[in-house]
Amino acid sequence: KNIDTIYLAYSGGLDSSVLVHCISQLLCKDERAEGIGSAIDTAATLRMQAVALHVNHGLQIEADSWQQHCEQTCQLLGLDFNTVKLQLDEDQLKQKGVEAAARDARYKWFFEFMEAKNSALLTAHHQDDQAETVLLNLVRGSGVSGLAGMREQAEHGGSMLLRPFLNTPKENIWHYAQQHQLQWVEDPSNISAEFLRNRVRRELLPLIDSIRGGASKILVRVASNMRDVEGMLEELAESDLGGKVDCRQNPLDGSYCLSIDQVKNLSESRVVNVIRYWLKVLGLQSPARLTLLELARWCLGKDSEKLAHQLSDGWFYGYRGTLYYVPNGEQEWIETAVWSELSKPWVMRDGRQLTMRSQARSSLKTKDLEIVSLSRQDKCVCQDGSIRTLAKLLQDHRIPGWRRSNLWGVRSGSDVIWVAGIGRLLSAKDFHLEYQR
């Protein structure tokens, strides 16, 4: 892949300090970092631009001094440096805990900052981190994907996530830091028994290593085997879906859908595998296995006709032969507004917009249109000339229940001519409104 800019996740700790030093030396002097990571040598030959990124969560008293240390180090190494102060969302803290909430916030900022498609984010995860991740996921009861651990390369939108040290032992990184007399910061949270990962690192992994030497290498090998298994399961799911996943979002509620016809003849286990793969392709987190089983049973007609399952970040609904995933998000509340410049889109606050084809404007009774909130009792003139309540139209068009709140549409004079989720109502020639994100 053509990458012209690499971004370095730089906390100021030992591992990321070695990462930024390696990159600076390789880009400037064309040296090689023996025993550190072959992927980094590639960066030198390509002469990429390197930018260090630092996130200050303010979780420790020393956070500001760590930020200053990172900035000064980058100045000495001749690397561009960017930083941000991010306060963690209270709801995210309650749902995920400090570690996960902070990690998610960091990566969200990293990739938002990067923007460019020809870019890559490098992190300093190493072999011992991989072993800890596999063991941690095992303790948590993870499946194949969790036991596959971290990937050396992964795509994120149009960017790449690279972990060049992933096959490098922590010991090698330590020796490199000593050899080059690097300075780094020590985060006290890394030794706190409050976090499960620290207990796995400091207690469980050494215990396993005392029973069977080389535990880290063994666990890394397990991860490699599980990635092979995961790849085969994904190939099976892709085949079961006919090689195609519908990634389109409904503009009304941002929902994604999976037709039951695609999976109704599969076994329960294969349906679970398909749903997990479907969510992964959409970039969504897979729920717990019990939830996946519930969804699979509904798809196979083994459970009740109605399905509504809430997760922390959205809802699963089953409706008329289709499984929907609807992410959380406040629905747009429409206040009456006049749409007078019909040649320009009418843009909602969340970025969705209405556009009208030019040939449609001449068929309207009025020069201006109104964007209005609707009630289920509003009367609408249909294409066959009949007048029906909106409630009846919603039923006739099989609009799912969760889409029947905050109804809104377009009015021309006294006629409701378009309803979000249904489309045009009048039979005006060539009339068409397009609604999109």
Q: What are phi and psi of 338, to 5 degrees?
A: -95, 130
Beta bridge partners of 83: 54
**Domains of the chain, residue spans:** 5-35+44-218, 244-327, 337-436
pLDDT in tens, 298-347: 999 887 667 888 887 889 999 888 999 988 865 555 667 787 777 777 77
pLDDT in tens, 108-143: 999 999 876 688 999 999 999 999 999 999 998 889
What number is the average pLDDT over the span 223-230?
A: 96
The residues, any chain, with a CB within 8 Å of residue 175's CB and separated by 6 or more, are 35
Q: pTM to 2 decimals? A: 0.77
Give percent of the chain with pLDDT exceeding 90: 41
CATH of domain 5-35+44-218: 3.40.50.620
257: three-class secondary structure by DSSP: strand
Average of per-residue pLDDT values in the chain: 83
Tokens encoding 308: 């509504």
pLDDT at 388: 83
The angle at the Cα of 165, spanning 9 to 129, to the nearest 5 degrees, equals 85
The residues, any chain, with a CB within 8 Å of residue 109's CB and separated by 6 or more, are 53, 55, 84, 86
Length of the chain: 437
With cut-offs at 50, 70 and 90, classify the pLDDT of residue 430.
Answer: very low
DSSP state of 248: P
With cut-offs at 50, 70 and 90, classify the pLDDT of residue 377.
Answer: confident
Regarding the domain delimited by 244-327, which CATH topology (the fold level of the hierarchy) does it fall under? Chorismate Mutase Domain, subunit A (1.20.59)
What number is the average pLDDT over the span 281-292?
A: 89
